[in-house]
Amino acid sequence: MADLNAIKEAVNKGKRKDITGLVQTALDDGADPQVLINEYMIDAMKEVGARFEAKKIFVPEMMMAARTMQTGLDVIKPLLEAQGSQKEVVGTVVIGTVFGDLHDIGKNLVVLMLESSGFAVHNIGENVPPETFVEKARELGADVVGLSSLLTTGDPHVKATVAAIKESDLAGKVKVVCGGAAVTPKFAVETCGADGHATDAVDAVKTIQKLMGLN
């Protein structure tokens, strides 16, 4: 039987070589991919963040943990993608991490969950300036734009991006949803004027479905 705590430990300690086998064994033993992600891998990243904050580890260790998580997610990804390929496209989402921010793991998870729920998702990457969000949303005919922000120094960029969309020809046509550890619902909706906020990848799907009148 797979040792799920070993998955958490591997992410926590950045043991990238071990993660593929551990995740594959867990999946072969019938573990739920969502449980692996939400209850083990994300939990490990929270612990990594806490140890970084406490100066017990530094950027290289944080990077190794991130790479290990990404490698583990690569094993799970085909399972989630297969769920999405069986569904009709229900909407188009353009999503990126705001200017100045290179964090991508959470955003990529949101992409996976949206795709597995039938959305066509265009991931426009990290460190994305406000005008690129607007251009891509227009070009790709987005119903929703998703902003990810992990750094509190990104707050002005979240605000500027929401404003750029709301002041463009897309106003009233495209909904804006913000997420990521640095963004609170109050900041996203009341301060920036976004249409919604999502706490995690599952909530992102629910929030976007609700804004589009799909549930």
Q: How many residues bind ligand B1M (CB under 6 A)?
A: 37
Q: Is 42 in the site for ligand B1M (CB under 6 A)?
A: yes
Could you tell me if 10 and 18 are in contact, meaning their C-beta atoms sit under 8 angstroms apart?
A: yes
Q: How far apart are CA 147 and CA 128, in angstroms?
A: 9
Q: Which part of the chain contacts ligand B1M (CB under 6 A), choosing from 24-32, 128-136, 140-148, 161-169?
A: 140-148
Minimal distance in Å, beta carbon 1 to ligand B1M?
26
Length of the chain: 215
Q: Which of residues 85-114 bind ligand B1M (CB under 6 A)?
A: 95, 100-107, 109-110
Asked if 130 contacts 161 with a C-beta cutoff of 8 angstroms, the reply is: yes
Tokens encoding 91: 């909407």
List phi, psi (to 5°) of 179.
-160, 180
Among 27, 90, 163, 181, the residue binding ligand B1M under the rule CB under 6 A is 181
Residue 52 touching ligand B1M (CB under 6 A): yes
Residue 21 makes CB contacts below 8 A (sequence gap 6+) with none
Burial of 38 (0-12, 13-18, 19+ CB in 10 A): middle
Nearer Cβ to ligand B1M, position 1 or 89? 89
Binding of ligand B1M by 66 (CB under 6 A): yes
Q: Is 162 in the site for ligand B1M (CB under 6 A)?
A: no
Binding interface with ligand B1M (CB under 6 A): 42, 45-46, 48-49, 52-53, 59, 62-63, 66, 95, 100-107, 109-110, 146-148, 150-152, 177, 179-182, 198, 200-201, 204
